[in-house]
Amino acid sequence: MTTTSQVIQQLLNSWTAQNKLVTAFFDKYEETAYFKEIAPGRNRPIYLLGHLIAVNDGMIPMFGLGERMFPQLEPLFIRTPDRSVEAIPSLSELKANWAKLNETLANYFANKDDAFWLDRHMNVSPEDFQKEPLRNKLNVLISRINHQSFHMGQLILLTV
Amino acid sequence: MTTTSQVIQQLLNSWTAQNKLVTAFFDKYEETAYFKEIAPGRNRPIYLLGHLIAVNDGMIPMFGLGERMFPQLEPLFIRTPDRSVEAIPSLSELKANWAKLNETLANYFANKDDAFWLDRHMNVSPEDFQKEPLRNKLNVLISRINHQSFHMGQLILLTV
C-alpha cells in the first residue's frame, strides 16, 4: 500500500463513519420526530435526509460511474427548500434509498486506485484540470464529508 | 511534489477554507448577535468560538509542537457547557485568540513533510501505533475539519 493509498483510505474511513452517524440518527427516534423542525423555521430532519441522499448521489455522475440512482430527489431536496413541495417520499422510502446509495457508493469506491481519486471529476474539463490539478475526485469526497458533518451538526439539535 | 503531499495539501486547503468561513461568520454581525442562542436552549456563538479555539489549540501538544497557546480556554469551553461559568473572555479577545491560533497553526503546518503527517500523534503510544497505523496526525486533522464543519452548520442557524 502506498502512502497515498493510505491517506485516501483514511478519507474513505471518515466518509463511512459519517454515514453511520447519519444512519444511527435516523434509527434513533419514532417516525414523527423526523417531521419536527431542528430549530424554529428551519429544516426538518426528513428534508435533510433527502438532501444528503440527493447531494451524495450526485457523486456517481461526477465520478463518471454512471447515472444518479435517485434523480427524482434532486428537484425535491436540492433545488427547492423544505416545505415548498406538497408530496415528498416517506421516511421509510428515504431510509431505504440512503442505505442503498451508501452500499452502492461503498462498492464503487472499494476497488478504485489512487489514479482514480487524483484524476479530474466530470464537472471540470481536461483543460481546466490542467490549470487546477486539485479539482480531482478526492476534493469532491472531502467536500461531501464536510457537507455531511455540517448537516449532522444541525440534526443533533433536534429536540424530541 | 509526491501524490501524498498533494493529498495532504488538499486537506490543509480544506482546513484553511473552514477557518475562513468561521472568521467570516464572526465578522458579519454586531457583537450582541453572538450572545444569542443558535436555537432555543442551545449554545451561543461566542461559546462555539471559544470551543473551536480550545479544540483546535489541542492540536499543538497532540502534534508534539509545544504547549497550548490558550490553556485557560480548555476548562471554560471543553470541560463545561455554555452558560455554566460566570465569566468568559470577551468576543474581541476570543476573535484575537482565534486569529492568532490560525496564524500559528498555519506556520507550523507550512513546512511539514509527509512523514510528519503520517506519524503517530502524541496521544497514541508507539506500541499502539504499530497496531493501528492510521492513528496518525492526518487523522486528527481530518477529524478537526469535520468538527469545525459540524459547528459551522449550527452557527449558520443563528437568527439575527
C-alpha cell at B78: 471543553
Residue of B14, B39, B138 lying closest to A146 (CB–CB): B14
Provide φ and ψ at A10, rounded to 5°. -60, -40
Question: Is any Cβ of chain A less than 8 angstroms from the Cβ of B5?
Answer: no
User: Contact B38/A42, CB-based, under 8 Å?
Assistant: no
Residue B40 has pLDDT above 90, yes or no: yes
Residue B99 has pLDDT above 90, yes or no: yes
| Nearby residues of A32 by Cβ (< 8 Å), 6 or more positions away | none
SS3 B7: helix
CA-based nearest residue to A8, from A136, A148, A100, A152:
A136
Q: 10 Å Cβ neighbour count for A6?
A: 16
Instruction: Count Cβ–Cβ pairs < 8 Å, chain A vs chain B.
Output: 99
Burial class (CB in 10 A: 0-12, 13-18, 19+), B97: buried
Number of H-type helices and E-type strands within chain B: 8, 0
CA-based nearest residue to B48, from B156, B151, B158, B157:
B151
Rounded-to-integer distance, Cα A51 and Cα A76, Å: 8
Residue of B40, B114, B152 lying closest to A3 (CB–CB): B114
The confidence score (pLDDT) of residue A86 equals 78
Alpha-carbon gap: B49 to the closest alpha carbon of chain A (Å): 15
Rounded-to-integer distance, Cα B136 and Cα B85, Å: 34
Question: Is any Cβ of chain B less than 8 angstroms from the Cβ of A25?
Answer: no
Question: Is any Cβ of chain B less than 8 angstroms from the Cβ of A24?
Answer: no
pLDDT in tens, A90-122: 999 999 999 999 999 999 999 899 999 999 999
User: Contact A7/B2, CB-based, under 8 Å?
Assistant: no
The confidence score (pLDDT) of residue B1 equals 80
Rounded-to-integer distance, Cα A33 and Cα B149, Å: 24
Question: Is any Cβ of chain B less than 8 angstroms from the Cβ of A16?
Answer: no
pTM of the model: 0.97
DSSP sequence for chain A: --HHHHHHHHHHHHHHHHHHHHHHHHTTS-GGGGGS-SSTTS--HHHHHHHHHHHHHTHHHHTTS-S-S-TTHHHHHTSS-TTSSS----HHHHHHHHHHHHHHHHHHHHT--HHHHHSBPTTS-HHHHHH-TT-BHHHHHHHHHHHHHHHHHHHTT---
Residue B57 has pLDDT above 90, yes or no: yes
Rounded-to-integer distance, Cα B158 and Cα B38, Å: 4
DSSP state of B120: B
The alpha carbon of A137 is separated from its chain's Cα centroid by a whole number of angstroms, namely 14
pLDDT in tens, B116-135: 999 999 999 999 999 999 99
The confidence score (pLDDT) of residue A1 equals 80
C-alpha cell at A26: 435516523
User: What average pLDDT does the segment B30-57 reach?
Assistant: 97
**Angle of CA points A91, A93, A97, to nearest 5°:** 115
pLDDT bucket at B85, cuts 50 / 70 / 90:
confident
Divide the 160 residues of chain A into consecutive groups of 10 and give the mean pLDDT of each group: 93 97 98 96 97 98 98 95 91 98 97 96 97 96 98 96
Cell 491560533 locates to B101
The alpha carbon of A124 is separated from its chain's Cα centroid by a whole number of angstroms, namely 20
